[in-house]
Each structure stands twice: as C-alpha cells, then as structure tokens.
A and B are shown apart, each in its own frame.
Chain A
Amino acid sequence: MLSARVFVTLKKSILDPQGSTIQRALKSMGYPEVDEVRQGKLFELKLGDMEREKAVQLVEEMCTKLLVNPVIEQYTFELLED
C-alpha cells in the first residue's frame, strides 16, 4: 500500500502572520533560539496499490489542481510504503 504525505507552505516571499505569532509565543516562553516559524498544512493521502511512478504523477496532478494555490503556496511530498 502506498501513501503520500504532502506538505504545503506559503511561498518564502509571502509573509506568514500566523508563523510570526507562533514564533513570538515561543520566544516569550523561553525559546529565543527560534529565528523563524513558518506554518503549513500536511495532507496524508492513502493511495492503495500502484506503481511509484504513477503515484508521483497523480499526487502532482492533485497538488496543482486542488491542494495547492500556486499564487501563494509551494509544496513538497514524499511517498511511503505501508
């Protein structure tokens, strides 16, 4: 069984006010080491049995069509064997 983990984040060029708020919270809790926080989304997709090549193609298609808004977001993904 194949599954995919898709990570979606705002592009580097775009301010992430949620991330900055979390970073300030961490600082105030005593973690001054954290220079930056960027918040994102994780999608876990169960894909069933299929070739890895096919899975890569499908996941890329799903990312471009729905999961990601390319105007503001970027993505990476990994395939896992269960």
Chain B
Amino acid sequence: MKFGVVVFPGSNCDADCYHAVKDLGHAVEYIWHKDTDLKGSDCIIIPGGFSYGDYLRSGAIARFSPVMDKVIEFANQGGYVIGICNGFQILLECGLLPGAMLRNNHLKFRCADSLLKIENADTPFSNLLEKGQVIQVPVAHGEGNYYIDSEGLKTLEETGRIVFRYSTSDGEITQDANPNGSVHNIAGIVNEAGNVLGMMPHPERCVDELLGGTDGKLIFQSIVARFERG
C-alpha cells in the first residue's frame, strides 16, 4: 500500500505523517501542492500545519491549490483521504466534509493530550479499534471548534459519521473533556461514503513510545487493514 502526503506552503506535520506510515513499513511519497499527479497513492494524507499562514480562514486558500482538484476527484472515486488538523480544515473548506471550524471557544491555542472515544469502529480509519474504546491522541490547534447546523448534526449523528468524540478516560462525553467547544464533542467525522476522514487530533504524533504513546498507529494500521482486505 502506498501513501501520499500533500505538502502546502506552511504544512508542518508533513514529515511526521511521512515517518508515521514509513515506520509501519509502507511506501510513501510527498506530493507538492502544485503537482497534479497523486503518484499512484492508495491513501492521501493532508497533514496539519498552517497552510498559507491560515490567512483569510484556516484551509481557505489551500483548497484552491492545483493538487486539491485531484484529491477531490480521487475521493469521489472512493480513494482514502485523511485530513488531520489543518488537513481537516482544508477538507471542510473544499466541501469533501460538511461543517466549518470556528475559533476555540476559550480563544486559546490548545496543545495537549486528548482522549477520544471511538463512536464508529466500522470505518476504514477505525476498524482495528472497538466502539466505546478510549484512545489518547494529542491536539494542537487554535481553530478546532467544529460547527455544523442542527440539521447537518442530526444527519451525522443518525448515520454514524461521527468517528471520534472528546471524552473522559471512562468514555463520558463531558464539557470538561472538550478542548475547543466543538458541537457534541466532535473530534473526527467521515463523509457519507466513509472514505474521507477529518480529525483535529494528531495520530502521527503518537506512533512511538518515544513520543508518549502509540494509539495513533491504530488509525494508520486500520487504513492498511481495510485496503488489504479490499
């Protein structure tokens, strides 16, 4: 299986994503945002960072990079796409995922470990996890306050498209466990077809004990497991 990591001016988690999948033993290549060739990737990772300096709105300008037309085409054909942090914001801006990001409700940049409850383990990104399981993955963002209107929220809830929710270690969904004010503690969602995931926490930052945890590995390994199963 081959991964492609898109690099925008201002991406800063691209190298982490690259090494996360490489260390798991998979082929991976960087894809410059001006390229229109996805280099035969089976999964596209849109990494975190501050593409275009977050000017205008996070992800608003990156979505017009030439590579994004190809990523949208790839996603519409069922290709796996995972957007992490700024990558999630880009997926929202380009319309592959619904909703938008607002400034964190406490107005601070939050860089800390977060606990995520697995709400749907039947996705290409979570199939090695169990529903109700709690994993630890760090967040680092100033604009991760996920918003969607009440109708959209109802659809996400009813169709199992919320994959991760910020929770306590017991899996309770509380206000205190929510690092940014996201509606219904949403930390990660998939599109209707289930092949595009956006998540604010950084799985690539917890793939080795040296980094303080390995729960992030399960997300990348899930993608591989689903891909190999076909």
Contact residues of A with B, CB < 8 Å?
A: 10, 14-15, 17-18, 21, 66-67, 69, 71-72
Contact = CB atoms under 8 A, between A and B. Distances in A.
Given A21-B107, A71-B147, A14 B102 contact: yes
20 contacts: A10-B102, A14-B102, A15-B105, A17-B103, A17-B105, A17-B106, A17-B107, A18-B103, A18-B107, A66-B56, A66-B60, A69-B93, A71-B92, A71-B98, A71-B99, A71-B100, A71-B149, A72-B100, A72-B102, A72-B147
A10 B92 CA distance: 17
Contacts of B92: 71
B112 interface: no
Main secondary structure of the interface of A (DSSP, over half): mixed
Contacts of B181: 17
Interface string B91-130: 0110000111011111100000000000000000000000
Contacts of A17: 103-107, 181
Contacts of A15: 102, 105
Nearest to B63: A66
A13 to B, nearest CB: 8
B2 interface: no
A22 to B, nearest CB: 11
Nearest to B106: A17
A37 to B, nearest CB: 14
B57 interface: yes
A69 B105 contact: no
Contacts of A21: 107
A72 B183 CA distance: 13
Interface in B125-139: none
Residue from the set B56, B64, B104, B105 with the largest chain A CB neighbour count within 10 Å: B56
A67 B100 contact: no
A21 B106 CA distance: 10
Interface in B26-63: 56-57, 60-61
Contacts of B15: none
A44 B62 CA distance: 22
Contacts of A10: 102
